[in-house]
DNA sequence: CCAGACTATATTTTCGAAAATCATACCGTT
DNA sequence: AACGGTATGATTTTCGAAAATATAGTCTGG
């Protein structure tokens, strides 16, 4: 018997819909389903083993996050990618992340410092273990996400954190898009280390400068190595 | 086809789910259903004449917008209100709106100027007609929303405009919350006029200053006159 | 009288059939 | 051949019954 018969069906949420939302989100971010590709119910039904309405609920939630494009009466598709969208997501991320890092540095307590340091430590450990293709490693992705999350977690605004998280996901999809074409990842480890140090030493201006450069250079990389995918269609 | 001619079930969207999403959103913003109130399917079913799954889809969409609170396996409820949430929404609005007004002033073309002027004109006309309780007048609400939308529409970022729209809705719910207790609206007409003039004359710094004051004073008003509703639970 | 287990009821969540809608191919006419 | 309309098949959307889960109420043993 395959896993689905033995393993619990709901891994990430209490409801099947929430679980499928989570799984499909990860697949879209990882570009396991191509941008712009139609999401037909027959296919999804077989893949996720859920019914029409449950899938519909998941797709509706992802549409609100900007990862899925709902075309009324004509179904859903994976949100398309474009240079314009990449630019918008990048600019929005800079605007919000810069503000949040300032607030976090101002408000962060001991627990925040510990979270920043420990998440970076885990990230570096994973990078040491397998320094080749970080985006292919699910553990690296989680650790990377958690480090950036930890940096701003003390900002004091759940509202802005939620918006930041959505934008992070949308940006991560672009990183995956270019991962297959990028010859070699640049020195992210050093950048993360520098950001952490600036944050912990409460040097807000420096941290802001580093974060902005980090975000923008990632986006530039995507535009360079996945440009052909952004122009087509 | 004949059904829609007699009694159009779908007013705002092509699908029933999208229509209910829209109608329920307006009801929540207008505080026709109280913050924190449970949204039970029996009740919604009778009220909107739709089935479980269709309602579920609408509630999921509104949960993603922050107007509904989804409690897994325990149904949905109208998103609660609090001082903390009001502060977060206000701060987030200032952060984003200030940036967007700057971009709009920089990029806005003739069409933008026309949109700003004409939406303000309509707003003032409605205010002249019935200057008493603007928030009770659906037309005023729409015109007010459209004026503020027009101001930033030329910013060039659909992504940030969508985020801004969500925050605007969440803030509008707080305005409605305090509307019943506020003795008399302050001089909004004058503020709108001043914002428009600053924008059209491309005085970005002044426009930013006025917008921020506009947003914050509205929030202060809510905190003053609806404070008792924010502390209770 | 209380804590915990059990039962009954209320409510949410999920399912697959059925209705509605869209896309395509076909046909007849000009 | 080009065009417009229509039938056909594919796909989405909606429905209400059925399953799963939570909540309230009851009972029992201590």
Domains recognised in chain A with CATH numbers: 3-78 (1.10.10.10), 83-231 (1.20.120.530)
d(CA A17, CA B73): 11
User: What does the angle CA B60 – CA B65 – CA B70 come to, to the nearest 5 degrees?
Assistant: 40
Average pLDDT over residues B17-35: 97
Mutate to test the interface with A, among B74, B95, B98, B155 (most CBs of A within 10 A): B95
Task: Classify residue B225 as exposed, middle or buried by CB count within 10 Å of its CB (0-12, 13-18, 19+).
Answer: middle
The pLDDT tens digits for A119-129 are: 999 999 998 88
The answer to whether the Cβ–Cβ distance between A159 and B85 falls below 8 Å is yes
Interface size, chain A vs chain B, as Cβ–Cβ contacts under 8 Å: 74
pLDDT band at B232 (very low <50, low <70, confident <90, very high): low
Closest CA to B90 of B211, B229, B226: B211
User: What does the angle CA A34 – CA A39 – CA A43 come to, to the nearest 5 degrees?
Assistant: 105
Q: Would you say the C-beta of A50 is within 7 Å of strand C?
A: yes
Closest CA to A35 of A65, A5, A75, A79: A79
Average pLDDT over residues A117-146: 88
Cβ atoms A86, A166 nearer than 8 A: no
Enter the tokens of residue B111. 């069409």
Averaged confidence pLDDT in chain B: 91
Q: Is B61 helix (H, G, I), strand (E, B) or coil?
A: helix
The pLDDT tens digits for A88-120 are: 999 999 999 999 999 999 999 999 999 999 999
d(CA A59, CA A67): 9
From the CA of A111, how many Å to the nearest CA of chain B? 21
Task: Classify residue A164 as exposed, middle or buried by CB count within 10 Å of its CB (0-12, 13-18, 19+).
Answer: buried
Res. A185: pLDDT tops 80: no
Which pLDDT value is given to residue A2?
A: 35
Element (H, E) at B70: strand B68-70
């Amino acid at each position: 018997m395959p896993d689905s018969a033995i393993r619990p069906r709901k891994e990430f949420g209490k409801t099947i819909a929430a679980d499928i939302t989570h799984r499909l989100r990860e697949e879209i971010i990882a570009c396991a389903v191509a941008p712009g590709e139609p999401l037909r119910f027959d296919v999804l039904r077989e893949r996720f083993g859920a019914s029409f309405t449950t899938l519909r609920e998941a797709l509706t939630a992802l549409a609100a996050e900007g990862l899925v494009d709902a075309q009324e009466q004509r179904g859903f598709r994976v949100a398309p990618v474009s240079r314009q969208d990449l630019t918008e997501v990048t600019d929005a991320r800079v605007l919000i992340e810069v503000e949040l890092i300032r607030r976090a540095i101002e408000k962060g307590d001991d627990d925040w410092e510990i979270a920043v340091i420990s998440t970076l430590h885990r990230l570096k450990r994973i990078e040491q273990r397998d320094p080749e293709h970080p985006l292919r490693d699910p553990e690296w992705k989680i650790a990377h996400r958690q480090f950036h999350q930890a940096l701003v977690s003390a900002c004091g605004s759940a509202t802005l954190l939620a918006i930041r998280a959505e934008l992070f996901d949308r940006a991560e999809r672009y990183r995956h898009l270019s991962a297959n074409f990028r010859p070699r990842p640049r020195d992210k480890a050093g950048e993360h280390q520098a950001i952490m140090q600036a944050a912990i030493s409460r040097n807000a201006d420096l941290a802001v400068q580093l974060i902005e450069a980090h975000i923008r250079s990632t986006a530039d990389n995507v535009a360079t190595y996945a440009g052909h995918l952004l122009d087509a269609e």
